[in-house]
A = this chain, B = another copy of it.
Amino acid sequence: MGITLREVAKEAGVSITTASRALSGYDDVADKTRKEVERAADSLGYIPNLMARRLKTGRTGTLGFIIPDTSSRLGDPFFSNFLAGIGNEAGNHGFDLLITTHSPDSRGEHESYTRAVGGGWVDGVILVRTRYDDWRIRYLYENNYPFVAFGRSNHEFEYPLVDEDSKAGVSQMVQHFIDLGHREIAFLAPPANLMFARLRREGYVQTMQDNGIRWRPDFIREGNMTRQSGYEQMNILLSNRDRPTAVIACNDMMALGVMDAVQERGMVVGRDISVSGFDDVPVAAFTNPPLTTLRQPIYDIGRTCCRMLVEILAGQKPEPYQTLLTPEVVVRESTGPKI
């Protein structure tokens, strides 16, 4: 690499200690000496070796974001919007952002968390898509490692998080459909191990029951949050003898896939079959037809998570420590009355 502090010290005619202290702005170094060291550093083009510094201080100035997804990963607007929120906020606080992607529970995912906690990979991490019995959360918590999660879990302890009230959200959406006269309402669920899978399913089942509608197990299908899987699962639903007249997809990408399948069969979304999503990613307002969905401010949640993590790293306790947001039904043209 290049110039080291030793050479700067030599050039300035002082010890390494003094050079270090001069450049770090300590006040027990004479003004004249500091000027001289600065001049030397400048003229030699000194750039501190980051790894040496980090090794010594144990701080990296970097936050980690480990994306739990295999197929679409960063291509999914959910992640890219959340990432945007984190990234922009991190920048505001002078932190870099380190990102990596691994499929849930994979070896690589384990390694990343291990490296973070034990290897000094980053100063703290942000978690997303929390799972039932989430080992990541337990692991981070038990090691007293700084983190913030987007999503609750079912642990007995408290940790800093932001989450949306999935159950209430889905509940509202089911009610929206019922109010439009639908009774054959299918539910395209997230992978079962995700924490919000249970909550959203509860919202679905309970609201159906509350309205005196018997819910049918074969109208609940599990997808993997991609457009492709929305398409596939909807094709299965459509090949049944009894078809639903409405579908609630648990994210917007799957809703897009559902619409693909519907339109492929020559039916009109919003008239023949109503479709709704979850998230309100930016593209949802522009689909054809525009998508009825549950709005949660992904970008802002990303920012909030990041801000909370920065506070934790500064030794403060974020206030509030846990936030629960209620998603809001945004009615667009993909849903309409039952015909």
Interface residues of A (CB under 8 A from B): 1-3, 45, 47-52, 54-55, 58, 60, 62, 73-75, 77, 80-81, 83-84, 87-88, 91, 96-102, 114-115, 117-121, 282-283, 286-288, 299
Contacts and interface: CB of A to CB of B under 8 A. Distances in A.
Nearest to A281: B283
B87 A50 contact: no
9 contacts: A1-B119, A47-B117, A50-B115, A74-B80, A75-B299, A80-B81, A87-B101, A96-B98, A96-B99
What is the interface of chain A mostly: helix, strand, loop, or mixed? Answer: helix
Nearest to A282: B283
Given A50-B121, A91-B102, 20 more contacts: A1-B118, A1-B120, A2-B118, A47-B114, A49-B119, A50-B115, A50-B120, A73-B88, A73-B91, A74-B80, A74-B83, A75-B84, A96-B98, A96-B99, A96-B100, A97-B99, A98-B99, A282-B283, A283-B283, A286-B287
Contacts of A97: 98-100
B115 A47 contact: yes
Closest 8 CB pairs of A and B: A47-B118, A74-B84, A286-B286, A80-B80, A51-B55, A50-B119, A51-B54, A74-B87
Contact of A84 (B50, B80, B96, B286): B80
Number of copies: 2
B83 A49 contact: no
A73 B84 contact: yes
A286 B49 CA distance: 48
A54 B53 CA distance: 11
Contacts of A288: 286
A87 B115 contact: no
Contacts of A98: 62, 96-99
A47 B101 contact: no
Contact of A51 (B51, B100, B283): B51
Nearest to A73: B88
A299 B75 CA distance: 9
A121 B99 CA distance: 15
A88 B62 contact: no
Contacts of A87: 73-74, 99, 101
Contacts of A100: 91, 96-97
Nearest to A59: B51
A174 B299 CA distance: 36
Contacts of A52: 55
Contacts of A48: 119
